[in-house]
Amino acid sequence: MTGWHANTVAELSAALHEGSVSSVELTGLYLARIAQHQGALNAFISVTQEAALLQAERADARLRAGERGALIGVPIAHKDIFCTAGERTTCGSRMLANFVSPYDATVVERLRAAGAVMLGKTNMDEFAMGSSSETSYFGPVRNPWDPARVPGGSSGGSAPAATATDTGGSIRQPAALCGVTGLKPTYGRVSRFGMVAFASSLDQGGLLTISAEDAAVLLAAMAGFDERDSTSVELPVPDYTASLAQPLKGLKIGLLHEFFDQGLDPQIEQRIRDALDVLRLEGASLRDVSLPNLPLSVPTYYVVAPAECSSNLARFDGVRYGYRCERPRDLLDLYQRSRGEGFGAEVKRRIMVGTYVLSAGYYDAYYLKAQRVRALISADFARAFHEVDVLIGPTTPTAAFELGAKTGDPVTMYLNDIYTIGANLAGLPAISVPCGFVQGLPVGMQIIGPHFSEPRLLNVAHRYQCESDWHRRAPPGFT
Protein backbone atom coordinates (compact mmCIF):
# COMPACT_ATOMS: atom_id res chain seq x y z
CA MET A 1 0.00 0.00 0.00
CA THR A 2 2.16 2.87 -1.24
CA GLY A 3 1.68 5.84 -3.50
CA TRP A 4 -1.94 6.70 -2.73
CA HIS A 5 -0.92 9.96 -1.03
CA ALA A 6 0.27 11.33 -4.39
CA ASN A 7 -3.19 10.95 -5.92
CA THR A 8 -5.63 13.80 -6.28
CA VAL A 9 -8.99 13.86 -4.51
CA ALA A 10 -10.68 12.99 -7.80
CA GLU A 11 -8.39 9.97 -8.23
CA LEU A 12 -8.86 8.82 -4.65
CA SER A 13 -12.63 9.13 -4.98
CA ALA A 14 -12.62 6.99 -8.12
CA ALA A 15 -10.49 4.33 -6.42
CA LEU A 16 -12.75 4.27 -3.37
CA HIS A 17 -15.87 3.85 -5.47
CA GLU A 18 -14.24 1.14 -7.57
CA GLY A 19 -13.17 -0.72 -4.44
CA SER A 20 -9.46 -0.51 -5.31
CA VAL A 21 -8.81 0.75 -1.80
CA SER A 22 -10.90 1.26 1.33
CA SER A 23 -11.18 4.45 3.33
CA VAL A 24 -9.76 2.65 6.38
CA GLU A 25 -6.69 1.65 4.35
CA LEU A 26 -6.26 5.17 2.96
CA THR A 27 -6.72 6.78 6.35
CA GLY A 28 -4.18 4.41 7.90
CA LEU A 29 -1.66 5.30 5.19
CA TYR A 30 -2.12 9.03 5.74
CA LEU A 31 -1.88 8.68 9.52
CA ALA A 32 1.36 6.72 9.09
CA ARG A 33 2.79 9.45 6.83
CA ILE A 34 1.86 12.13 9.35
CA ALA A 35 3.71 10.20 12.05
CA GLN A 36 6.68 9.72 9.72
CA HIS A 37 7.09 13.39 8.76
CA GLN A 38 5.66 15.31 11.74
CA GLY A 39 9.01 15.55 13.49
CA ALA A 40 10.62 17.20 10.48
CA LEU A 41 7.76 19.47 9.39
CA ASN A 42 5.59 20.11 12.49
CA ALA A 43 2.57 20.46 10.21
CA PHE A 44 -0.04 19.20 12.69
CA ILE A 45 -1.11 20.44 16.11
CA SER A 46 -3.53 17.57 16.74
CA VAL A 47 -3.84 14.20 15.03
CA THR A 48 -7.29 12.68 15.53
CA GLN A 49 -6.36 9.07 14.85
CA GLU A 50 -9.19 7.25 16.61
CA ALA A 51 -11.89 9.56 15.30
CA ALA A 52 -10.42 9.39 11.78
CA LEU A 53 -10.48 5.60 11.68
CA LEU A 54 -14.05 5.57 13.00
CA GLN A 55 -15.11 8.06 10.30
CA ALA A 56 -13.32 5.93 7.70
CA GLU A 57 -15.27 2.84 8.80
CA ARG A 58 -18.51 4.77 8.41
CA ALA A 59 -17.43 5.99 4.99
CA ASP A 60 -16.69 2.43 3.87
CA ALA A 61 -20.17 1.41 5.02
CA ARG A 62 -21.67 4.20 2.93
CA LEU A 63 -19.64 3.08 -0.08
CA ARG A 64 -20.66 -0.55 0.36
CA ALA A 65 -24.28 0.59 0.47
CA GLY A 66 -23.81 2.08 -2.99
CA GLU A 67 -23.83 5.73 -1.93
CA ARG A 68 -22.15 8.06 -4.40
CA GLY A 69 -20.25 11.17 -3.38
CA ALA A 70 -17.03 12.81 -4.47
CA LEU A 71 -15.64 13.07 -0.93
CA ILE A 72 -16.91 9.91 0.77
CA GLY A 73 -13.93 8.29 2.49
CA VAL A 74 -11.38 10.88 1.30
CA PRO A 75 -8.90 11.92 4.05
CA ILE A 76 -8.53 15.67 4.66
CA ALA A 77 -7.17 17.97 7.38
CA HIS A 78 -8.58 21.15 8.91
CA LYS A 79 -6.64 24.28 9.73
CA ASP A 80 -6.71 24.65 13.51
CA ILE A 81 -8.79 27.80 13.28
CA PHE A 82 -12.00 25.91 12.41
CA CYS A 83 -13.99 24.69 15.42
CA THR A 84 -14.32 20.91 15.59
CA ALA A 85 -16.73 19.33 18.04
CA GLY A 86 -14.96 17.28 20.69
CA GLU A 87 -11.46 18.12 19.42
CA ARG A 88 -9.05 20.91 20.30
CA THR A 89 -9.19 24.19 18.36
CA THR A 90 -6.10 26.16 19.36
CA CYS A 91 -5.53 28.75 16.61
CA GLY A 92 -1.83 28.07 17.20
CA SER A 93 -2.02 30.00 20.47
CA ARG A 94 -1.33 29.37 24.14
CA MET A 95 -4.54 31.27 24.75
CA LEU A 96 -6.57 28.37 23.32
CA ALA A 97 -4.10 25.52 23.80
CA ASN A 98 -6.68 23.39 25.65
CA PHE A 99 -9.92 24.71 24.17
CA VAL A 100 -12.31 22.00 22.96
CA SER A 101 -15.17 23.32 20.88
CA PRO A 102 -18.70 22.06 21.62
CA TYR A 103 -19.70 22.43 17.96
CA ASP A 104 -18.43 22.17 14.38
CA ALA A 105 -17.73 25.13 12.12
CA THR A 106 -20.05 25.14 9.11
CA VAL A 107 -17.14 24.20 6.83
CA VAL A 108 -16.30 21.21 9.04
CA GLU A 109 -19.96 20.24 9.30
CA ARG A 110 -20.46 20.29 5.53
CA LEU A 111 -17.31 18.33 4.73
CA ARG A 112 -18.17 15.79 7.42
CA ALA A 113 -21.65 15.39 5.91
CA ALA A 114 -20.04 14.91 2.48
CA GLY A 115 -18.15 11.93 3.90
CA ALA A 116 -14.63 13.38 4.19
CA VAL A 117 -12.45 11.87 6.93
CA MET A 118 -10.72 14.34 9.28
CA LEU A 119 -7.12 13.36 9.99
CA GLY A 120 -6.41 16.21 12.40
CA LYS A 121 -5.84 19.93 12.87
CA THR A 122 -2.96 21.67 11.12
CA ASN A 123 -0.40 24.10 12.51
CA MET A 124 -0.59 27.80 11.69
CA ASP A 125 0.57 31.27 12.62
CA GLU A 126 -1.02 32.28 15.92
CA PHE A 127 -4.60 33.44 15.27
CA ALA A 128 -3.65 33.45 11.56
CA MET A 129 -1.36 36.47 12.10
CA GLY A 130 1.75 35.88 10.05
CA SER A 131 3.20 35.16 6.63
CA SER A 132 5.58 32.35 7.52
CA SER A 133 3.92 29.99 10.07
CA GLU A 134 6.64 30.88 12.58
CA THR A 135 4.43 32.54 15.22
CA SER A 136 2.64 29.36 16.40
CA TYR A 137 2.83 28.58 20.12
CA PHE A 138 3.43 24.97 19.01
CA GLY A 139 6.57 25.83 17.06
CA PRO A 140 7.20 26.80 13.43
CA VAL A 141 6.09 24.76 10.44
CA ARG A 142 8.86 23.82 8.00
CA ASN A 143 8.85 23.77 4.22
CA PRO A 144 8.98 20.21 2.80
CA TRP A 145 11.21 21.36 -0.10
CA ASP A 146 13.78 22.65 2.40
CA PRO A 147 13.06 22.26 6.14
CA ALA A 148 15.36 25.20 6.86
CA ARG A 149 12.86 27.45 5.10
CA VAL A 150 9.35 28.68 5.85
CA PRO A 151 6.25 27.18 4.20
CA GLY A 152 4.42 30.51 4.04
CA GLY A 153 1.59 31.53 6.32
CA SER A 154 -0.65 31.58 8.02
CA SER A 155 -1.99 28.24 6.72
CA GLY A 156 1.50 26.71 6.63
CA GLY A 157 0.52 23.33 8.02
CA SER A 158 -2.42 22.79 5.70
CA ALA A 159 -1.39 20.09 3.23
CA PRO A 160 -3.50 18.87 0.38
CA ALA A 161 -6.26 18.30 0.77
CA ALA A 162 -7.00 20.68 3.64
CA THR A 163 -9.13 23.60 4.67
CA ALA A 164 -7.41 26.92 5.22
CA THR A 165 -8.19 30.60 5.70
CA ASP A 166 -7.02 33.71 3.88
CA THR A 167 -7.08 37.18 5.44
CA GLY A 168 -4.25 38.76 3.46
CA GLY A 169 -2.78 35.84 1.52
CA SER A 170 -2.73 33.02 4.05
CA ILE A 171 -3.89 30.39 1.54
CA ARG A 172 -2.11 31.60 -1.57
CA GLN A 173 1.27 32.19 0.09
CA PRO A 174 1.70 28.63 1.41
CA ALA A 175 0.40 27.32 -1.91
CA ALA A 176 3.09 29.24 -3.79
CA LEU A 177 5.95 28.45 -1.42
CA CYS A 178 5.11 24.74 -1.15
CA GLY A 179 4.11 24.01 -4.75
CA VAL A 180 0.40 23.26 -4.33
CA THR A 181 -2.89 24.82 -5.42
CA GLY A 182 -4.56 27.32 -3.07
CA LEU A 183 -8.00 28.89 -3.57
CA LYS A 184 -9.37 31.90 -1.69
CA PRO A 185 -13.07 32.20 -2.63
CA THR A 186 -15.09 35.40 -2.86
CA TYR A 187 -15.80 36.99 0.52
CA GLY A 188 -19.12 35.57 1.69
CA ARG A 189 -19.06 32.47 -0.54
CA VAL A 190 -17.89 30.17 2.30
CA SER A 191 -19.42 30.49 5.76
CA ARG A 192 -17.27 31.95 8.53
CA PHE A 193 -19.43 30.45 11.30
CA GLY A 194 -17.14 28.54 13.63
CA MET A 195 -14.01 29.98 12.03
CA VAL A 196 -12.24 31.90 14.80
CA ALA A 197 -12.15 35.53 13.70
CA PHE A 198 -9.01 37.56 13.06
CA ALA A 199 -10.27 40.40 10.82
CA SER A 200 -13.94 39.86 10.09
CA SER A 201 -14.20 41.93 6.91
CA LEU A 202 -11.19 40.16 5.37
CA ASP A 203 -11.22 36.55 6.64
CA GLN A 204 -12.34 33.92 4.15
CA GLY A 205 -12.28 30.15 4.36
CA GLY A 206 -10.80 28.24 1.44
CA LEU A 207 -8.59 25.29 0.71
CA LEU A 208 -5.23 23.88 -0.32
CA THR A 209 -5.19 20.96 -2.75
CA ILE A 210 -2.98 19.26 -5.31
CA SER A 211 -5.00 20.45 -8.30
CA ALA A 212 -7.64 22.91 -9.42
CA GLU A 213 -9.97 19.99 -10.04
CA ASP A 214 -9.66 18.99 -6.38
CA ALA A 215 -10.34 22.59 -5.35
CA ALA A 216 -13.53 22.53 -7.42
CA VAL A 217 -14.72 19.34 -5.71
CA LEU A 218 -14.02 20.59 -2.20
CA LEU A 219 -15.42 24.07 -2.79
CA ALA A 220 -18.71 22.57 -3.99
CA ALA A 221 -19.07 20.86 -0.61
CA MET A 222 -17.97 23.88 1.46
CA ALA A 223 -19.73 26.77 -0.26
CA GLY A 224 -23.27 28.02 0.16
CA PHE A 225 -25.47 30.29 2.25
CA ASP A 226 -25.40 29.94 6.02
CA GLU A 227 -27.94 31.84 8.09
CA ARG A 228 -25.57 31.67 11.08
CA ASP A 229 -23.07 33.91 9.27
CA SER A 230 -24.36 37.44 8.64
CA THR A 231 -21.78 37.95 5.88
CA SER A 232 -22.75 34.78 4.01
CA VAL A 233 -24.08 35.46 0.52
CA GLU A 234 -27.38 33.85 -0.49
CA LEU A 235 -26.53 32.68 -4.00
CA PRO A 236 -26.80 29.23 -5.63
CA VAL A 237 -23.62 27.14 -5.62
CA PRO A 238 -22.66 26.20 -9.18
CA ASP A 239 -21.16 22.89 -10.26
CA TYR A 240 -17.54 24.01 -10.18
CA THR A 241 -16.34 20.92 -12.05
CA ALA A 242 -18.69 21.45 -15.00
CA SER A 243 -16.66 24.22 -16.66
CA LEU A 244 -13.13 23.01 -15.82
CA ALA A 245 -12.37 21.80 -19.34
CA GLN A 246 -13.87 24.80 -21.14
CA PRO A 247 -11.44 26.13 -23.81
CA LEU A 248 -9.66 29.39 -23.08
CA LYS A 249 -10.15 30.82 -26.56
CA GLY A 250 -11.21 34.44 -26.22
CA LEU A 251 -10.11 34.73 -22.58
CA LYS A 252 -8.72 38.20 -21.85
CA ILE A 253 -5.90 38.17 -19.30
CA GLY A 254 -4.73 41.34 -17.62
CA LEU A 255 -1.08 41.55 -16.53
CA LEU A 256 -0.91 43.63 -13.38
CA HIS A 257 1.69 46.32 -14.00
CA GLU A 258 2.13 46.90 -10.26
CA PHE A 259 3.07 43.25 -9.69
CA PHE A 260 5.94 43.20 -12.19
CA ASP A 261 8.03 45.79 -10.39
CA GLN A 262 11.54 46.02 -9.03
CA GLY A 263 10.61 44.08 -5.89
CA LEU A 264 9.92 40.91 -7.87
CA ASP A 265 12.64 38.27 -8.18
CA PRO A 266 13.54 38.25 -11.93
CA GLN A 267 13.58 34.46 -11.98
CA ILE A 268 10.02 34.33 -10.61
CA GLU A 269 8.94 36.85 -13.23
CA GLN A 270 10.34 34.57 -15.93
CA ARG A 271 8.40 31.58 -14.57
CA ILE A 272 5.19 33.62 -14.64
CA ARG A 273 5.82 34.74 -18.21
CA ASP A 274 6.53 31.14 -19.22
CA ALA A 275 3.16 30.15 -17.76
CA LEU A 276 1.46 33.00 -19.61
CA ASP A 277 2.91 31.65 -22.86
CA VAL A 278 1.12 28.36 -22.13
CA LEU A 279 -2.17 30.19 -21.60
CA ARG A 280 -1.63 32.16 -24.80
CA LEU A 281 -1.19 28.92 -26.74
CA GLU A 282 -4.49 27.79 -25.20
CA GLY A 283 -6.20 30.74 -26.88
CA ALA A 284 -6.00 33.51 -24.29
CA SER A 285 -4.91 37.06 -25.09
CA LEU A 286 -2.79 39.28 -22.86
CA ARG A 287 -2.92 42.97 -22.13
CA ASP A 288 -1.27 45.23 -19.56
CA VAL A 289 -3.49 46.56 -16.77
CA SER A 290 -2.68 49.12 -14.10
CA LEU A 291 -4.31 49.46 -10.68
CA PRO A 292 -2.84 52.77 -9.49
CA ASN A 293 -4.01 52.46 -5.89
CA LEU A 294 -2.84 48.87 -5.43
CA PRO A 295 0.58 49.85 -3.99
CA LEU A 296 -1.37 51.27 -1.02
CA SER A 297 -2.80 47.85 -0.17
CA VAL A 298 -0.15 46.89 2.39
CA PRO A 299 -0.42 50.03 4.57
CA THR A 300 -4.20 49.94 4.20
CA TYR A 301 -4.36 46.31 5.28
CA TYR A 302 -2.09 46.87 8.27
CA VAL A 303 -4.51 49.48 9.59
CA VAL A 304 -7.78 47.65 8.87
CA ALA A 305 -6.71 44.14 9.92
CA PRO A 306 -5.14 45.08 13.28
CA ALA A 307 -8.15 47.28 14.09
CA GLU A 308 -10.51 44.35 13.57
CA CYS A 309 -8.10 42.00 15.34
CA SER A 310 -8.07 44.30 18.38
CA SER A 311 -11.86 44.13 18.55
CA ASN A 312 -12.18 40.39 17.89
CA LEU A 313 -9.50 39.29 20.33
CA ALA A 314 -10.91 41.38 23.18
CA ARG A 315 -13.05 38.34 24.08
CA PHE A 316 -9.98 36.43 25.24
CA ASP A 317 -9.69 37.88 28.72
CA GLY A 318 -9.08 34.91 31.03
CA VAL A 319 -12.62 35.04 32.38
CA ARG A 320 -14.88 33.04 30.09
CA TYR A 321 -12.62 30.50 28.40
CA GLY A 322 -9.06 30.12 27.23
CA TYR A 323 -5.81 30.66 29.11
CA ARG A 324 -6.02 32.09 32.63
CA CYS A 325 -2.97 33.25 34.61
CA GLU A 326 -2.25 31.67 37.98
CA ARG A 327 -3.25 33.38 41.25
CA PRO A 328 -4.33 36.80 39.93
CA ARG A 329 -4.28 39.56 42.57
CA ASP A 330 -7.40 41.27 41.24
CA LEU A 331 -9.50 41.58 38.07
CA LEU A 332 -7.08 43.97 36.34
CA ASP A 333 -4.16 41.65 37.06
CA LEU A 334 -6.23 38.74 35.70
CA TYR A 335 -6.83 40.59 32.44
CA GLN A 336 -3.29 41.86 32.02
CA ARG A 337 -1.41 38.67 32.83
CA SER A 338 -3.83 36.31 31.08
CA ARG A 339 -3.55 38.27 27.85
CA GLY A 340 0.15 39.03 28.30
CA GLU A 341 1.02 35.38 28.89
CA GLY A 342 -1.57 33.89 26.54
CA PHE A 343 -0.75 35.87 23.39
CA GLY A 344 2.51 35.78 21.43
CA ALA A 345 4.55 38.79 20.31
CA GLU A 346 2.99 39.19 16.83
CA VAL A 347 -0.56 39.03 18.15
CA LYS A 348 0.26 41.59 20.86
CA ARG A 349 1.81 43.86 18.24
CA ARG A 350 -1.30 43.80 16.08
CA ILE A 351 -3.66 44.29 19.03
CA MET A 352 -1.71 47.38 20.11
CA VAL A 353 -1.62 48.83 16.60
CA GLY A 354 -5.33 48.15 16.18
CA THR A 355 -6.24 49.69 19.50
CA TYR A 356 -4.20 52.77 18.62
CA VAL A 357 -5.82 53.37 15.21
CA LEU A 358 -9.30 52.99 16.72
CA SER A 359 -8.64 55.30 19.66
CA ALA A 360 -10.12 58.77 20.08
CA GLY A 361 -8.29 61.33 17.99
CA TYR A 362 -6.76 58.74 15.64
CA TYR A 363 -9.82 56.96 14.21
CA ASP A 364 -10.36 59.53 11.43
CA ALA A 365 -6.66 59.88 10.64
CA TYR A 366 -6.00 56.14 10.30
CA TYR A 367 -8.94 53.73 10.29
CA LEU A 368 -11.43 55.88 8.40
CA LYS A 369 -8.79 56.93 5.87
CA ALA A 370 -7.74 53.31 5.36
CA GLN A 371 -11.35 52.36 4.61
CA ARG A 372 -11.53 55.12 2.01
CA VAL A 373 -8.34 53.88 0.34
CA ARG A 374 -9.79 50.36 0.46
CA ALA A 375 -12.76 51.63 -1.55
CA LEU A 376 -10.37 53.13 -4.13
CA ILE A 377 -8.53 49.80 -4.47
CA SER A 378 -11.84 47.98 -4.97
CA ALA A 379 -12.84 50.51 -7.63
CA ASP A 380 -9.52 49.93 -9.45
CA PHE A 381 -10.26 46.20 -9.62
CA ALA A 382 -13.81 46.84 -10.83
CA ARG A 383 -12.54 49.05 -13.68
CA ALA A 384 -9.96 46.45 -14.66
CA PHE A 385 -12.60 43.73 -14.92
CA HIS A 386 -14.49 45.83 -17.46
CA GLU A 387 -11.48 45.30 -19.74
CA VAL A 388 -10.30 41.78 -18.89
CA ASP A 389 -11.71 38.51 -17.57
CA VAL A 390 -8.96 37.70 -15.07
CA LEU A 391 -5.81 39.32 -13.70
CA ILE A 392 -2.57 37.35 -13.45
CA GLY A 393 0.72 37.94 -11.68
CA PRO A 394 3.08 36.34 -9.17
CA THR A 395 1.78 35.18 -5.79
CA THR A 396 4.90 36.13 -3.85
CA PRO A 397 7.89 38.38 -4.64
CA THR A 398 10.42 35.68 -3.69
CA ALA A 399 10.58 31.95 -3.14
CA ALA A 400 10.56 30.54 0.41
CA PHE A 401 12.98 32.34 2.71
CA GLU A 402 14.92 30.85 5.63
CA LEU A 403 13.34 30.39 9.04
CA GLY A 404 14.08 33.40 11.21
CA ALA A 405 15.18 35.57 8.30
CA LYS A 406 12.40 38.13 8.74
CA THR A 407 11.09 37.63 12.28
CA GLY A 408 13.18 40.52 13.58
CA ASP A 409 11.77 42.99 11.05
CA PRO A 410 7.95 42.97 10.93
CA VAL A 411 7.73 45.42 8.03
CA THR A 412 9.90 43.20 5.83
CA MET A 413 7.71 40.24 6.76
CA TYR A 414 4.53 42.18 5.96
CA LEU A 415 5.83 43.06 2.50
CA ASN A 416 5.77 39.38 1.60
CA ASP A 417 1.97 39.81 1.30
CA ILE A 418 2.31 42.62 -1.23
CA TYR A 419 0.71 40.73 -4.14
CA THR A 420 -2.04 38.97 -2.19
CA ILE A 421 -3.62 41.60 0.05
CA GLY A 422 -5.46 43.50 -2.69
CA ALA A 423 -7.85 40.61 -3.37
CA ASN A 424 -8.81 40.48 0.31
CA LEU A 425 -9.43 44.22 0.56
CA ALA A 426 -11.75 43.97 -2.45
CA GLY A 427 -13.31 40.64 -1.41
CA LEU A 428 -12.30 38.99 -4.70
CA PRO A 429 -11.62 35.31 -5.40
CA ALA A 430 -8.04 34.34 -6.21
CA ILE A 431 -6.10 31.15 -6.78
CA SER A 432 -2.39 30.33 -6.72
CA VAL A 433 -1.09 27.48 -8.87
CA PRO A 434 2.46 26.08 -9.14
CA CYS A 435 4.27 27.27 -12.27
CA GLY A 436 7.90 26.20 -11.87
CA PHE A 437 10.91 26.38 -9.58
CA VAL A 438 13.64 28.84 -8.67
CA GLN A 439 16.79 27.20 -7.29
CA GLY A 440 14.82 24.10 -6.35
CA LEU A 441 11.99 26.00 -4.63
CA PRO A 442 8.40 26.26 -5.95
CA VAL A 443 6.93 29.36 -7.57
CA GLY A 444 3.24 30.28 -7.63
CA MET A 445 1.18 32.13 -10.25
CA GLN A 446 -1.82 34.06 -8.93
CA ILE A 447 -5.09 34.38 -10.88
CA ILE A 448 -7.64 36.94 -9.62
CA GLY A 449 -11.21 37.30 -10.88
CA PRO A 450 -14.36 39.37 -10.30
CA HIS A 451 -16.71 38.49 -7.45
CA PHE A 452 -18.10 34.93 -7.69
CA SER A 453 -15.95 34.06 -10.70
CA GLU A 454 -14.59 30.90 -9.08
CA PRO A 455 -15.74 28.75 -12.04
CA ARG A 456 -13.60 30.84 -14.40
CA LEU A 457 -10.56 30.86 -12.10
CA LEU A 458 -10.75 27.10 -11.66
CA ASN A 459 -11.16 26.71 -15.43
CA VAL A 460 -8.03 28.76 -16.19
CA ALA A 461 -6.04 26.97 -13.48
CA HIS A 462 -7.21 23.54 -14.66
CA ARG A 463 -6.40 24.21 -18.30
CA TYR A 464 -2.92 25.35 -17.30
CA GLN A 465 -2.45 22.22 -15.17
CA CYS A 466 -3.54 20.06 -18.10
CA GLU A 467 -0.54 21.48 -19.99
CA SER A 468 1.96 21.36 -17.11
CA ASP A 469 2.91 19.03 -14.29
CA TRP A 470 4.31 21.45 -11.70
CA HIS A 471 1.42 20.65 -9.35
CA ARG A 472 2.39 16.97 -9.50
CA ARG A 473 5.98 17.52 -8.37
CA ALA A 474 6.81 16.34 -4.86
CA PRO A 475 9.76 17.20 -2.62
CA PRO A 476 12.58 14.65 -2.36
CA GLY A 477 11.67 12.11 0.31
CA PHE A 478 7.93 12.76 -0.01
CA THR A 479 7.18 10.88 -3.23
Angstrom distance (rounded) from CA 14 to CA 30: 18
- Amino acid found at 260: F
If you write DSSP's letter for every residue of 22-83 in order, what string do you get? Answer: -HHHHHHHHHHHHHHHHHHH--EEEE-HHHHHHHHHHHHHHHHTT---TTTT-EEEEETTB-
**Radius of gyration of the chain, Cα coordinates, nearest whole angstrom:** 21
Whether residue 133 contacts residue 156, with contact meaning beta carbons closer than 8 Å, is answered with: yes
Q: Is 254 helix (H, G, I), strand (E, B) or coil?
A: strand
Residues tagged active-site = 79, 154, 170
CB-based burial, 231-253: b 16+ in 10 Å, e otherwise = ebbeeeeeebbeebeeebeebeb
Question: Looking at residue 100, what DSSP letter applies?
Answer: B
Burial tier of 336 (Cβ tally within 10 Å: 0-12, 13-18, 19+) = middle
Q: Is 121 helix (H, G, I), strand (E, B) or coil?
A: strand
Give the strand pairing for 285-289 and 204-209.
unpaired
Whether residue 125 contacts residue 346, with contact meaning beta carbons closer than 8 Å, is answered with: yes
CB-based burial, 394-423: b 16+ in 10 Å, e otherwise = bbbbbbbbebebbbeebeebbbbbbbbbbb
- Amino acid found at 380: D
Give the HSE-up count for residue 408: Cα atoms under 13 Å, Cβ half-sphere.
4
Which is it for the CA torsion 16, 21, 24, 30, positive or negative? negative
Q: Is 251 helix (H, G, I), strand (E, B) or coil?
A: coil
Which is it for the CA torsion 4, 9, 12, 14, positive or negative? negative
